[in-house]
Amino acid sequence: MSTRSPKQALFAEFATLAKALGHAHRLELLEQLAQGERSVETLAQKTSLSIANASQHLRHMRRTGLVDTRRDGKFVYYRLADEAVLDLLAALGRLAERNVAEVERIMRRYFKDRDGLEPVPRDALLERIRAGTVTVLDVRPQDEFALGHLPSAVNIPLKAMEARLSELDPSREVVAYCRGRFCVLSFEAAALLRSRGFKARCLEDGLPEWRAAGLPVVAGSS
């Protein structure tokens, strides 16, 4: 009777983990969990899934060690099991962008054509935050902002942007950010602001990458 070598056993486990990522809904759920801990009900609402469907995907990812849980009364809350999950998702995105033609086409037509300005690096933005020379604009929904945001960030969700432009100083450059590198909210916000005469750019990625880099994050809604 043949037995698997340790290397074969390891590769089988790696393959199981890779399969757990093999659904678009799971990647979207992980993007939401990268913002902070969430209940199943909230995750279902955020991703337009039924609670049963979201729970099924989340349980599968929990079995493979991508997410972890805690229970509070009737509610189950999920979180990323390890910050390394963010590295895995980032590597997946980079690989797809470089080698998958359809991904490159989407990136070019939606992101690059819409916003040809160079994004602002994290370290450069932190320096400008400390110097007080920039308006940092968080365009995620308020509940995500409350879970954690960049220092001095102003929260104006994209849907409310038109009605709240008067809250922004037109003499200061605005740097917008949202859930991550492939989140469209900040691109939409920067395009809208530039069309209204503001000098606006996007951060190079989003809140999860900022946190993973060890940069300061503030919790709370104020």
Q: Catalogue the active-site residues.
A: 178
Contacts of 204 (CB under 8 A, 6+ apart): 119, 120, 121, 122, 181
β partners of residue 56: none
Closest CA to 43 of 55, 208, 71: 55
Q: Report residue 112 as tokens.
A: 């690059």
Residues with Cβ within 8 Å of 13's Cβ and at least 6 positions away in sequence, in order, are none
Q: What's the CA gap between 68 and 78, in Å, rounded?
A: 6
